[in-house]
DNA sequence: ACAAACAAGCATGCAAGCCTGCATGTAAGT
DNA sequence: ACTTACATGCAGGCTTGCATGCTTGTTTGT
């Protein structure tokens, strides 16, 4: 497992590198370029030629590591998910203590959904509807992202264990809102501020349901109490 | 292949039509085919050739009416929006009286969002993010759809006049949820039922905020939620 | 009313461009 | 020497827009 340092555009002098280093470097270059390409020119604009160009490698090198376009995209998705998870956790860790709460977490999540990598994922998700091959790669993408969010949140708010029954639908509602907002945000970048307004509303609600970790020690401890995390609380 | 025009009106597939009729017919064929194409094979799969093939007209005819691909798509969007609005109103009118309420309306809206035309719009919305030309056509698409929904709902629930201030964000929240759900639905067609669960939750909430028009005489709280129509209940 | 002239609808072929995958050849590491 | 990483050229397929020619409807002159 190559553990190259994150994301940098470092081009060290091309001295003598081990095969593993060469391999790893080229692959990272290619995968980053793929994500960037998806985010900037969309799925239909993402060609292996363009990816290779952005990565600064030859088409031959690209084909050597990822013989087909699908293998390239497949690897890029894994690359992307792992990188996003790390970025989110790191960002949360660096958050000032007073924002170590659900609101801060949702703000970060919103940032994630507006980031280029997330837009790359949206491109893939939408495109995979009509592309059988791509669909095979993205079929479980929804659940994976959902699971990623769930895991991270549980890790960040270990004591806020909502009843297992209420989590799925509630979380999925939140997820749906974020996806919907991100689609619109991808279009107009929220020049009108509407998306922000919706998001603010959502944060307010979440704050009511998930108190700050610091304050929750003496308060919420009921097992089945907080039934609705999402907008709906009936049923 | 040619139909002899000598003998007057025969059992030809098409008799003598006025130019306006020919024109209108071919255009409708093309626009419907464009929407169908977008819905079935996505933006990247929608080529003028494929549209012409599906419409059953020649490429020349297509180019005659819509010289460039963008003009074709532009016309298709207008065609689509108008058609969807009519379809939604007609569907609501045919709804059994006992479902002439907000829940029935939302069910229909959910059907709309899952329909092929809506998926065509989603394709365009996502693609226009990275396509400058397309973006020019779709820049106000969000607001237009939102306005369409708003108009229709006001027409269907004339007495449910929510305070003007609360409508925008609340409606946009609902809209975001539907967009988000439709993205996911486009992927897996809700084989798991999660999207339906989220939608059900949403309907329950809406029913609390917007009572049945018929039954609101006995309901005392039809003015209850001026501040929170969406999931968020004010701050 | 008829026929010629005109315009509009429609069909087909072509050129330029791009994308993908392959196949061959070269350089670098083991 | 031998494998791996990398570079470049080629072939087939597809898309878009244009140009040319044919068919059908409409108009106009007599």
Q: How far is the CA of B50 from the C1' of C19 (A)?
A: 18
Check residue A5 and report its DSSP letter.
P
Closest nucleotide C1' to the C-alpha of A58: D7
What pLDDT was estimated at residue A4? 36
3-state helix, strand, coil in chain B (%, to 5): 70, 0, 30
A72 vs B219, more confident: A72
Instruction: Give contacts of B204 with chain A, Cβ < 8 Å.
Output: 232, 234-235
* Residue in B closest to A141 by C-alpha: B187
- The backbone region for B152, taken as left when phi is positive above 0, alpha when psi lies in -120 to 50, beta otherwise, is alpha
Instruction: Give contacts of B46 with chain A, Cβ < 8 Å.
Output: none
pLDDT single digits (tens) B143-199: 899 888 888 877 777 766 566 666 678 889 999 999 999 999 999 999 999 999 999
What pLDDT was estimated at residue A87? 87
Measured between CA atoms, how close is A190 to chain B, in angstroms?
11
Closest nucleotide C1' to the C-alpha of B24: C9
Dihedral angle computed from the Cα positions of residues A88, A209, B169 and A109, in that order, rounded to the nearest 10 degrees: 0
Instruction: Give contacts of B130 with chain A, Cβ < 8 Å.
Output: 40-42, 44-45, 123
Average pLDDT over residues B42-69: 96
Protein-proximal nucleotides of chain D (any atom < 7 Å from a CB): 4-9, 14-21, 23-26
> Rounded distance, CA B235 to CA B228, Å?
9
Structure tokens at A13: 């002098």
What pLDDT was estimated at residue B187? 92
- Interface contacts A/B by beta carbons within 8 Å: 166
Q: Please report residues contacting nucleic strand C, using a CB cutoff of 7 A.
A: A 16-20, 22, 46-50, 59-60, 63, 67-70; B 1, 19, 22-23, 25-26, 57-61, 63-65
> Rounded distance, CA A88 to CA B160, Å?
42
Distances (CA, A) of B103 to B95, B99, B106, B228: 11, 7, 5, 18
Residue ranges in chain A whose pLDDT is less than 70: 1-15, 159-167, 213-235
Average pLDDT over residues B128-150: 90
> B99 CB near a chain A CB, below 8 Å?
no
> B202 CB near a chain A CB, below 8 Å?
yes
Determine what percent of chain B is predicted with pLDDT higher than 90.
51
Structure tokens at B105: 């309306």
Contacts of A120 (CB under 8 A, 6+ apart): A35, A36, A38, A39, A76, A80
What pLDDT was estimated at residue A10? 44
Q: What is the H or E stretch that residue B78 is in?
A: helix B69-93
Interface test with B, best of A178, A232, A233 (most B CBs within 10 A): A232
Structure tokens at B133: 């030309």
> Rounded distance, CA A218 to CA B219, Å?
39
Write down the residue that tokens 């970048």 correspond to: A189
Residue B179 is nearest to which of A44, A138, A184, comparing CB atoms?
A: A184
What pLDDT was estimated at residue A5? 37
Long-range CB pairs of B56-64 (<8 Å, 24+ gap) are B56/B29, B57/B26, B57/B29, B57/B30, B61/B26, B61/B30, B62/B30
Dihedral angle computed from the Cα positions of residues A104, A105, A108 and A110, in that order, rounded to the nearest 10 degrees: -110
Distances (CA, A) of B43 to A127, A187, B57, B90, B125: 8, 16, 20, 29, 10
């Amino acid at each position: 497992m190559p553990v190259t340092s994150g994301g940098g555009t470092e081009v060290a002098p091309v001295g003598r590198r081990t095969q593993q280093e060469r391999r790893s470097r080229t692959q990272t270059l290619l995968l980053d370029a793929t994500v960037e390409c998806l985010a900037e020119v969309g799925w239909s604009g993402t060609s292996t030629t363009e990816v290779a160009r952005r990565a600064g490698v030859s088409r031959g090198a690209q084909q050597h590591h990822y013989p087909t376009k699908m293998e390239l995209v497949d690897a890029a998705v894994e690359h992307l998910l792992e990188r996003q998870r790390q970025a989110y956790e790191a960002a949360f860790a660096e958050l000032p203590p007073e924002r170590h709460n659900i609101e801060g977490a949702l703000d970060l999540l919103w940032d994630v959904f507006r980031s280029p990598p997330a837009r790359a994922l949206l491109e893939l998700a939408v495109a995979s509807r009509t592309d059988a091959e791509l669909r095979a790669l993205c079929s479980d993408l929804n659940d994976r992202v959902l699971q990623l969010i769930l895991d991270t949140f549980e890790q960040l708010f270990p004591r806020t264990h909502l009843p297992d029954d209420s989590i799925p639908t509630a979380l999925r509602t939140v997820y749906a809102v974020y996806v919907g907002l991100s689609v619109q945000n991808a279009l107009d970048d929220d020049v009108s501020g509407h998306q922000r307004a919706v998001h603010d509303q959502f944060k307010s609600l979440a704050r009511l349901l998930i108190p700050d970790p610091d304050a929750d020690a003496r308060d919420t401890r009921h097992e089945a109490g907080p039934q609705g995390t999402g907008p709906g609380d009936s049923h």
